[in-house]
Amino acid sequence: MSKLKTFLVGKPLKSSDIHHEKLSVFRGLPILSSDAISSVAYAVEEILWVLIPVIGLASFKYLGYVTLAILGLLSILIFSYRQTINSYPKGGGSYIVSKENLGEIPSLVAGASLTIDYILTVAVSTTAGVAAITSAFPILLRFKLELTIIIILTMAIGNLRGIRDSAKIFSLPTYFFLVICIIMVGTGLFKYFILGIQPVPNPEITHQIGDLTIFLFLKAFSSGCSALTGIEAVSDGVANFKDPAPKHAKQVLYLMFLIVFIIFGGISYLATIYHAFPTLDKTVVSQIAEQVFGKGSLLFLVMQFSTTLILIMAANTAFSDFPLLLSFISKDGYAPRQFAKRGDRLSFSNGILFLSLAAIVLVIIFRGENHLLIPLYSVGVFISFTLSQSGMVVKWYKQKTNGWIHKAMINGIGATITFVTAIVVSINKFKDGAWIVFILVPAVILLMKRINRHYKKVAAQLSLDNNYFPQFNETEAKRFIVPVASLNEAVIKTINYAKCLSNDITAFHISTDDAETEKLKVKWEKHNIDIPLIIKKDEYRDVLNPLLKFIDSEEFASKKQDMITVVIPQFVTEKWWGNLLHNQTAVFMKRTLLKRKNIAVISVPFIIKQQKL
């Protein structure tokens, strides 16, 4: 087992091996913006999913307006996050900003929303990445789910090994995607406007059966908001930049805005002129690429391949950010403590395992269908946007530094708009799946509160301030009981060891089979074992309860406030499979005995040598 682990995860690393390579703008941009940029792979498609069934061809007239509304929202967010970056040069995620400025419950709401979001980032990005592949190779559609799971597992292993985000190779996919997208937008426009090539009319697009109502517009807007997921990554990661970090972070923020503007706007415009039509089999981006570059052409394949790559990078940001967030929550005592420990390879292994497991479960439930997962996605994102912006408003109000009203206004507008968006998205996507988020977030918050209560209670019990320093009676502690099933080497070793610590040893045997008991008695005499052997019958073939009953009985007469000692011979097999061939009586016995606060258990190992299987 441990060899397998080393093979997969690598050899342990020293604590001092942690080193934070600081990022330049050129290196930071691809790493922190891959999540936001990659969202264009599904956002335009999601808008069309809403419009086309109702208004048919007219969708392409209104797609632009929806896109503009979303880009408008994006620019407001950029202004708001600019201020967060200035105020939190060490990184200001929604959880931290809420905790500092809004208090416990808002920070838990942010924590819960972010937890669900990160899991969704992995699920949504990998399924979208697989969709980009299957659009090019429909033969792989059958293995959609398997492919998605394999990608998630590979990322989990990679991150357990501790791939650094900062690895140079990680910048390539984003720039590559950027370049190919710009080529596609340019070629698409050239073909349409200069060469005058008309797209093939798509017969599947239905006729208009309704009008563009404000309701439909808001619904399309809600769907498109999935384009805005991931933009908070820059403000989370300020600390990773070279000095002056806030300045570099802001430059990355502006560049990211520019890129999303060009790519999202460009693809949305291409969808309009090329009449792309969303289906479960072929993504909208792949349809555009097919028309622009030609069916089966090399550039088409390159486009699909690079879309998959940047989506995997996006999923990977969740793998590097979420375990870190969880370690903060864990250190604050709201998540199991195991999440705060770095593993052998210095990564937060438990967080990585939890994230990949949760994402896999989600992907299986939604049958690897990207389109079904997205409605769950935006709600949590906008809840945490709102909390983070509101936190900033409160911060300005409390600090009242120079120009605070102006700053509070900017974040206030951000908070209001994101809050309104959160409500719009929730209403529009509620029955498509957002309701799940409204069950999960409160459930997670409740769980975090309970965990916190538990840890507080434990800390109180362990605290030395209780001034409770129990003393134990030496004579009682030296009353040793050795449970014996039959007389063998292991028992002899146990008794001889026990004799070193005490001279008040009793052997205790539960008789479930008269013949066995008789054999034991004979051997006991033959080998002159000079400690008393107590034999009790049990009708339930149970070895534990009779022992506990004996300890509690008048015959043994121990006092509740004193410790007594049970000494157990424990078989230890050299190889893991040996355990399958032995009753784990010693282990069960120990587990049950230790539930009594006044019984200490000594395990005396007897190593069983094994041949190879």
Interaction of residue 603 with a copy of itself, rule CB under 8 A: yes
Interaction of residue 331 with a copy of itself, rule CB under 8 A: no
Name the residue among 610, 602, 608 with its Cα closest to residue 494. Answer: 602
162: left (phi over 0), alpha (psi -120 to 50) or beta: left
Alpha-helical (H) ranges within 190-283 are: 214-224, 233-236, 245-274
Span of 121-129, 197-205, 272-280, 483-491 interacting with a copy of itself by CB under 8 A? 483-491
Residues 126-185 interacting with a copy of itself (rule: CB under 8 A): none
**Dihedral sign of CA atoms 174, 353, 327, 10 in order:** negative
Burial letters for 62-76: b for 16+ Cβ neighbours within 10 Å, e otherwise? bbeebbebbbebbeb
* Euclidean distance between CA atoms 340 and 330, whole angstroms: 6
Return the number of the residue (473 or 558) whose C-beta is nearest a copy of itself: 473
The token pair that represents 134 in the structure block: 């299957």
Residues 338-397 interacting with a copy of itself (rule: CB under 8 A): 338, 341-342, 344
Bridge partners (DSSP) listed for residue 511: 537
CB atoms within 10 A of CB 547: 22
CB of 243 to a copy of itself, least distance (A): 26
Residues 30-59 interacting with a copy of itself (rule: CB under 8 A): none
Taking CB under 8 A as the criterion, the residue among 331, 406, 450, 559 binding a copy of itself is 450
Asked whether the beta carbons of 177 and 37 are under 8 A apart, the reply is yes
Taking CB under 8 A as the criterion, the residue among 105, 405, 420, 581 binding a copy of itself is 581
Return the number of the residue (56 or 605) whose C-beta is nearest a copy of itself: 605
Interaction of residue 582 with a copy of itself, rule CB under 8 A: yes
Span of 10-18, 61-69, 209-217, 236-244 interacting with a copy of itself by CB under 8 A? 10-18
The token pair that represents 142 in the structure block: 């059958």
Taking CB under 8 A as the criterion, the residue among 200, 462, 530, 576 binding a copy of itself is 462
CB of 531 to a copy of itself, least distance (A): 14
**Dihedral sign of CA atoms 175, 177, 182, 186 in order:** positive
CB of 337 to a copy of itself, least distance (A): 6
Return the number of the residue (297 or 583) whose C-beta is nearest a copy of itself: 583
Residue type, 376: L
Euclidean distance between the first and the last CA atom of the chain, given in angstroms as a whole number: 15
Return the number of the residue (179 or 446) whose C-beta is nearest a copy of itself: 446
Interaction of residue 469 with a copy of itself, rule CB under 8 A: yes
* Euclidean distance between CA atoms 137 and 141, whole angstroms: 8
Cis peptide before 546 (omega within 30 of 0): no
Return the number of the residue (406 or 527) whose C-beta is nearest a copy of itself: 527
3-state secondary structure 541-579: CCCHHHHHHHHHCCCCCCCCCCCEEEEEEEEEECCHHHH
Return the number of the residue (273 or 600) whose C-beta is nearest a copy of itself: 600
CB of 321 to a copy of itself, least distance (A): 22
Interaction of residue 448 with a copy of itself, rule CB under 8 A: no
Write each residue from 406 to 445 as x if it is in contact with a copy of itself (CB under 8 A), else as -, in one continuous string.
----------------------------------------
Please give the distance of CA 240 from its chain centroid, rounded to a whole number.
21
The token pair that represents 396 in the structure block: 């300005």
CB of 551 to a copy of itself, least distance (A): 14
Interaction of residue 519 with a copy of itself, rule CB under 8 A: no
Q: How far, CA to CA in Å, does 8 sit from each of 1, 161, 278, 345? A: 11, 8, 39, 11
Return the number of the residue (280 or 522) whose C-beta is nearest a copy of itself: 522
Residues 188-207 interacting with a copy of itself (rule: CB under 8 A): none
Taking CB under 8 A as the criterion, the residue among 516, 518, 525, 542 binding a copy of itself is 542
Count of residues of this chain found to bind a copy of itself when the rule CB under 8 A is applied: 80
Bridge partners (DSSP) listed for residue 504: 479
Name the residue among 49, 431, 416 with its Cα closest to residue 226. Answer: 49
Taking CB under 8 A as the criterion, the residue among 164, 331, 406, 527 binding a copy of itself is 527
CB of 43 to a copy of itself, least distance (A): 36
Interaction of residue 502 with a copy of itself, rule CB under 8 A: yes
Return the number of the residue (399 or 583) whose C-beta is nearest a copy of itself: 583
Interaction of residue 512 with a copy of itself, rule CB under 8 A: yes
CB atoms within 10 A of CB 609: 8
330: left (phi over 0), alpha (psi -120 to 50) or beta: alpha
CB of 92 to a copy of itself, least distance (A): 25
Interaction of residue 463 with a copy of itself, rule CB under 8 A: yes
* Euclidean distance between CA atoms 127 and 372, whole angstroms: 10
CB of 496 to a copy of itself, least distance (A): 6
Return the number of the residue (198 or 583) whose C-beta is nearest a copy of itself: 583
Residues 549-568 interacting with a copy of itself (rule: CB under 8 A): 563, 565
Return the number of the residue (285 or 564) whose C-beta is nearest a copy of itself: 564
* Euclidean distance between CA atoms 613 and 599, whole angstroms: 38
Cα Rg, the chain, nearest whole Å: 32
Question: Among all chains, which residue has been given the structure tokens 């293995």?
Answer: 143
CB of 133 to a copy of itself, least distance (A): 28
3-state secondary structure 423-447: HHHHHHHHHHCHHHHHHHHHHHHHH
Angle subtended at Cα 156 by Cα 150 and Cα 158, rounded to the nearest 5 degrees: 100
User: Residue 599, CB half-sphere, CA atoms under 13 Å: how many?
Assistant: 21
Taking CB under 8 A as the criterion, the residue among 1, 16, 169, 214 binding a copy of itself is 16
Interaction of residue 336 with a copy of itself, rule CB under 8 A: yes
Say which DSSP state 361 is in.
H
Return the number of the residue (209 or 469) whose C-beta is nearest a copy of itself: 469
Taking CB under 8 A as the criterion, the residue among 22, 247, 449, 523 binding a copy of itself is 523
Return the number of the residue (404 or 497) whose C-beta is nearest a copy of itself: 497
Interaction of residue 487 with a copy of itself, rule CB under 8 A: yes
Taking CB under 8 A as the criterion, the residue among 57, 58, 299, 602 binding a copy of itself is 602
Angle subtended at Cα 58 by Cα 42 and Cα 52, rounded to the nearest 5 degrees: 40
Taking CB under 8 A as the criterion, the residue among 157, 273, 477, 548 binding a copy of itself is 477
